[in-house]
Amino acid sequence: MATLQSLIGLINKIQRACTVLGDHGGEGMSLWEALPSVAVVGGQSSGKSSVLESVVGRDFLPRGSGIVTRRPLVLQLHKTEGGVDYAEFLHAPKKRFTDFAAVRREIQDETDRITGKTKHISNIPIQLSIYSPNVVNLTLIDLPGLTKVAVEGQADSIVEDIENMVRSYVEKPNCIILAISPANQDIATSDAIKLAREVDPTGERTFGVLTKLDLMDKGTNALDVWIQHTISVLEGRSYRLQHPWVGIVNRSQADINKNVDMIAARRKEREYFESSPDYGHLASKMGSEYLAKLLSQHLEVVIRQRIPSIIALINKTIDEINAELDRIGRPIGGDSGAQLYTILEMCRAFERVFKEHLDGGRPGGDRIYGVFDHQLPAALKKLPFDRHLSTRNVQKVVSEADGYQPHLIAPEQGYRRLIDGSISFFKGPAEASVDAVHFVLKELVRKSIAETEELKRFPTLQSDIAAAANEALERFREEGRKTVLRLVDMESSYLTVDFFRKLHLEPEKIPNPQGPNAPNGPNAPNQDRYSDNHFRKIGSNVSAYIGMVCDTLKNSIPKAVVYCQVLSAKRSLLNNFYAQVGRKEKERLGAMLDEDPQLMERRATLAKRLELYKQARDDIDSVAWK
């Protein structure tokens, strides 16, 4: 019996959990649907409410003549270890009823609230929990009585409406049917048995209950035949169901009027069967207490059968919740160690994606080569050396460098000035390469942040990482800028001596590109021709030298840029950030892991659901293996 208590208590627990989760059945196979319940079905005034009350052991249901039960009543019985009995309605959860006459009034009022004070019915259930040491754990459903005719004030459809509503409860395969028939009517015409046979043809979940046995024992001959018939039903010889029929003696209207209490009624019922000449031999298998026991035993069997499918359903739900939790990300532990760990994990995930972009696993890194392959050569080509090394400018620069004494052999100062002036032009394209690569890297940082799945839920951390990475890129850009400018300056600082030494060994063979009538062509005056040729040669020498420098820089600028910017970004983009994070207080770390409030709420709800389902599974496991 102890096992049974815990088993049914567990089912009540799961059902309560379902209510908390808002899982009342409906679409698909829900947990609620998988659990058994007991529905009381019978004609009007057949004694349904009386049977329910006997099982519960309390007076609390509205009773009277005519149609009394007009809404389904879902009744959960909870066995307590002691203390006073009390009741609670789902529609008024804060109110504890200890006066059961008040419970009866509340059922009436709550019925009227939906149906009005008419004789109409409603299929919206009233949910009532009763806590008492004198009950077994059961969920019972009291349903409006089946009828054959509408009474005055009721629509003709009511007969069908009630039948349909009752059918909607009892047709569920997990519903155990308590089919109530009064013994003073022919079972052949019992609406309860008719409906039960329809929805449960094999009779495996139907319990036949005969009420009002006491109303037919004041013997006449005709009654004797009737009683023999009743005995044959109770002995299982006619109208056989898979479960034995149980005879019941409830309180008569006169008992109710005299306020005979439940305990006295049970005692009276027991005495009735024990002393009955007709049913005495069946006494141990009759009465409301026996019915309650029978029901409980059956529930145990049914629940045990259901355990595998209930566990499967719970496991499926747990898997679904876990999958969603994985998708939106697990909650982070509250201690600073866990927070720090999470932040570093996120950073590493970002760095992984960023490196993939550079190394070719993801697109974008090739744009850096594009800078060296197109942008830099194009910019170098556009440098205005033609203008700077035109004969006129060469003459101007050389003359200025000579001062009052024109040079005699080679214009050493003039060469230097022309070369320095030319080399300084390289600074523009060198800096432009640094900037271009900087912007490619910045764009890759932006992309990598957006593509790091793990980071998606942490908008604050996203912008922190972006800020840290961009700050580092700025530093690398500055480093790159300094380095390429230094490369250019180095070209000015020491000239390649061999180049000029070789010049002397070469014969003069400078064609005049500007034609014979040009100012320095063959038709120009002699003096001019001499100096023009002279300066053109200087210009051409400088130009050749600058061409050589240009080739060198075209190769060395990319090396400097990659060294200072690309490799640094790959190696140490977040190094400063790591140092900063390591020094941060717990609160600051928490703030970095701020999430979208909606997401947090969703996670909390899911976590709660998960907890409930896991609890339910643990409970079932602990009972299932007893």
Interface with ligand GTP by CB under 6 A: which residues? 42, 44-50, 63, 67-69, 145, 211-212, 214-215, 248-253, 256
**Alpha carbon distance 407, 53 (integer Å):** 130
Asked if 570 contacts 355 with a C-beta cutoff of 8 angstroms, the reply is: yes
* Least distance from ligand GTP to the Cβ atom of residue 38, Å: 15
Say if residue 498 is exposed, middle or buried (CB neighbours under 10 Å; 0-12, 13-18, 19+). Answer: exposed
Q: Nearer to ligand GTP by C-beta: 69 or 483? A: 69
* Least distance from ligand GTP to the Cβ atom of residue 103, Å: 15
* Least distance from ligand GTP to the Cβ atom of residue 62, Å: 8
* Least distance from ligand GTP to the Cβ atom of residue 60, Å: 12
- The full length of the chain comes to 626
**Alpha carbon distance 177, 544 (integer Å):** 107
Give 151-166 as a DSSP string. Answer: PTTS-TTHHHHHHHHH
| Structure-block tokens of residue 55 | 């099982």
* Least distance from ligand GTP to the Cβ atom of residue 269, Å: 8
SS3 623: helix
Q: Nearer to ligand GTP by C-beta: 128 or 592? A: 128
Residues contacting residue 475 through CB under 8 Å, at least 6 positions apart: none
Q: Nearer to ligand GTP by C-beta: 292 or 487? A: 292
CA angle 490, 495, 498 (to 5 degrees): 140
* Least distance from ligand GTP to the Cβ atom of residue 278, Å: 15
Hunting for tokens 């140490």 — which residue is that? 572
- Residue 455 DSSP class: G
Q: Nearer to ligand GTP by C-beta: 45 or 433? A: 45
Asked if 262 contacts 53 with a C-beta cutoff of 8 angstroms, the reply is: yes
* Least distance from ligand GTP to the Cβ atom of residue 51, Å: 7
Q: Nearer to ligand GTP by C-beta: 142 or 619? A: 142
Can you name the residues that pair with 177 across neighbouring β-strands?
39, 206
Q: Nearer to ligand GTP by C-beta: 151 or 188? A: 151
Please give the single-letter amino acid code of residue 19.
T
* Least distance from ligand GTP to the Cβ atom of residue 89, Å: 19
SS3 439: helix
Q: Residue 329: left (phi > 0), alpha (psi -120 to 50), or beta? A: left
Closest residue to ligand GTP, Cβ-based?
Answer: 145
* Least distance from ligand GTP to the Cβ atom of residue 83, Å: 28
Question: Which three-class secondary structure string do you get for 329-387?
Answer: CCCCCCCHHHHHHHHHHHHHHHHHHHHHHHHCCCCCCHHHHHHHHHHHHHHHHCCCHHH
Q: Nearer to ligand GTP by C-beta: 217 or 619? A: 217
> Which residue in 385, 485, 396 sits closest to 433, CA to CA?
485
**Alpha carbon distance 58, 398 (integer Å):** 122
* Least distance from ligand GTP to the Cβ atom of residue 216, Å: 10
Q: Nearer to ligand GTP by C-beta: 69 or 422? A: 69
* Least distance from ligand GTP to the Cβ atom of residue 136, Å: 20
**Alpha carbon distance 123, 144 (integer Å):** 9
**Alpha carbon distance 179, 43 (integer Å):** 9
* Least distance from ligand GTP to the Cβ atom of residue 50, Å: 3
Q: Nearer to ligand GTP by C-beta: 168 or 305? A: 168
* Least distance from ligand GTP to the Cβ atom of residue 249, Å: 5
Q: Nearer to ligand GTP by C-beta: 68 or 376? A: 68
Q: Nearer to ligand GTP by C-beta: 191 or 619? A: 191
SS3 299: helix
**Alpha carbon distance 371, 393 (integer Å):** 32
Give 71-133 as a DSSP string. Answer: S-EEEEEEE-SSS--EEEETTEEEEEE--HHHHHHHHHHHHHHHH-SSS----PPEEEEEEET
**Alpha carbon distance 36, 16 (integer Å):** 13
Torsion of CA 182, 184, 185, 186, to 10 degrees: 110
**Alpha carbon distance 13, 619 (integer Å):** 9
* Least distance from ligand GTP to the Cβ atom of residue 48, Å: 4
SS3 49: helix
Q: Nearer to ligand GTP by C-beta: 162 or 581? A: 162
SS3 175: strand
Asked if 209 contacts 245 with a C-beta cutoff of 8 angstroms, the reply is: yes
Asked if 332 contacts 461 with a C-beta cutoff of 8 angstroms, the reply is: no
Q: Nearer to ligand GTP by C-beta: 107 or 299? A: 107
* Least distance from ligand GTP to the Cβ atom of residue 144, Å: 7
Q: Nearer to ligand GTP by C-beta: 295 or 419? A: 295
Q: Nearer to ligand GTP by C-beta: 253 or 305? A: 253
